[in-house]
């Protein structure tokens, strides 16, 4: 399964920050890459556009969901992450994660994994 992760933030470096964060997870390491696009306007060089993650089902998908939720909880400013797999898509924001109770974080992580893994969950 291939997942596309996009980020909306005032800080252009957030996508690279998430990439650095998720590749610390052994189940994801070597399976995530930044996808760059040609710049428009006055920018020079390619611009990081999205993160592409190729994973199997189950534990690796749950690990990705957990890493995204944990990373969002550390963001000092508002960041929104969209995770897409085929026609499945879900968005989560730093503001939303920070507003969760201690029980809400694992619930959100489970929900993300369920949406992303879909029919492959056991």
Residues paired with residue 83 on neighbouring β-strands, in sequence order: 5, 90
- Closest-CA residue to 32 (of 47, 41, 40, 22): 22
> DSSP assignment of 54-103, as one string?
E--STHHHHHHHHHHHHHHHT-SS-EEEEEEETTEEEEEEHHHHHT--TT
The token duo for 44 is 């020079």
The Cα 73–Cα 56 span in angstroms is: 25
pTM of the model: 0.84
Tell me the per-residue pLDDT of 10-56, one tens digit each, with 9 for 90 and over.
888 899 999 999 999 999 999 999 987 766 666 555 556 889 999 98
Tell me the per-residue pLDDT of 55-89, one tens digit each, with 9 for 90 and over.
987 899 999 999 999 999 999 989 999 999 988 89
Structural domains for the chain: 2-120 (3.30.70)
Tell me the per-residue pLDDT of 88-118, one tens digit each, with 9 for 90 and over.
899 999 999 999 998 999 999 999 999 888 7
pLDDT score of 116: 86
CB of 115 closer than 8 Å to CB of 65 = no
Helix, strand and coil percent figures for the chain, each rounded to 5: 40, 30, 35
């Amino acid at each position: 399964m291939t997942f596309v992760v996009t980020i909306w933030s005032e800080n252009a470096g957030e996508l690279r920050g998430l990439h650095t964060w998720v590749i610390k997870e052994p189940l994801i390491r070597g399976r995530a890459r930044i996808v760059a696009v040609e710049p428009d306007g006055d920018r020079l060089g390619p611009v990081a556009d999205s993160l592409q993650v190729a994973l199997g089902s189950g534990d690796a998908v749950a690990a990705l969901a957990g890493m995204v939720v944990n990373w969002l909880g550390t963001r000092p400013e508002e960041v929104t992450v969209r995770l897409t797999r085929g026609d499945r898509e879900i968005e989560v924001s730093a503001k939303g994660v920070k507003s969760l109770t201690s029980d809400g974080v694992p619930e959100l992580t489970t929900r993300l994994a369920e949406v992303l893994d879909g029919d492959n969950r056991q």
